[in-house]
């Protein structure tokens, strides 16, 4: 279940609903192993040091439901009314998503046009992930531990 247009549109719809017209606002959408799509948006806090990523709420919801995340995408409203761009997950979100395994698929922008995107697995997005040096335990969680 790759990142697809439905997932991108779910994130874009939430971003438009919550912060239409605000440059660089955004949202995320995650697909779970049962096909459910969760969306979330980052709240704004007065202290920037405690900001959260757009994916965080949906990742927590997946954990609450006991479901695995299989795909994730984050979008941002480009300034100057240039549409919505797909963002690759930041390093922190990559770590959060790796709790669901190295085959979670994520949307990444096409460098020449960030309004276009493609799908990569986390293992391909982060080929030099620090824990891969431990061959006896190449990924952080056993199957039984995934998603709680």
Q: What is the CATH number of the domain that holds 104?
A: 3.40.140.10
pLDDT in tens, 61-76: 999 999 999 999 999 9
Domain count, the chain: 1
**Residue 54: exposed, middle, or buried by beta-carbon count in 10 A (0-12, 13-18, 19+)?**
buried
Query: Around 9, how many Cα atoms within 13 Å sit in the side-chain half-sphere?
Result: 3
Residue 44 pLDDT level (bands cut at 50, 70, 90): confident
Q: Round the average pLDDT of the chain to a whole number and report it.
A: 87
- Residue range(s) defining the domain that contains residue 132: 5-145
User: 37 vs 9, 58, 69, 124, 128, CA distance in Å?
Assistant: 11, 9, 10, 23, 29
**What is the per-residue pLDDT for 21?**
66
């Amino acid at each position: 279940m790759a990142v697809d247009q439905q997932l991108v549109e779910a994130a874009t719809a939430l971003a438009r609903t919550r912060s239409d017209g605000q440059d660089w606002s955004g949202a995320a959408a995650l697909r779970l192993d049962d096909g459910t799509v969760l969306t979330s948006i980052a709240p704004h806090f007065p202290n920037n040091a405690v900001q959260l990523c757009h994916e965080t709420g949906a990742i927590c919801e997946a954990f609450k439901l006991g479901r695995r995340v299989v795909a994730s995408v984050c979008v941002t409203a480009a300034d100057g009314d240039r549409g919505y761009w797909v963002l690759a997950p930041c390093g922190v979100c990559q770590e959060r998503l790796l709790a669901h395994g190295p085959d979670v698929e994520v949307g990444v922008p096409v460098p020449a046009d960030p309004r276009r995107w493609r799908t990569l697995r986390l293992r391909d997005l982060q080929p030099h992930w620090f824990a891969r040096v431990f061959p006896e335990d190449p990924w952080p969680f056993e199957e039984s531990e995934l998603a709680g």
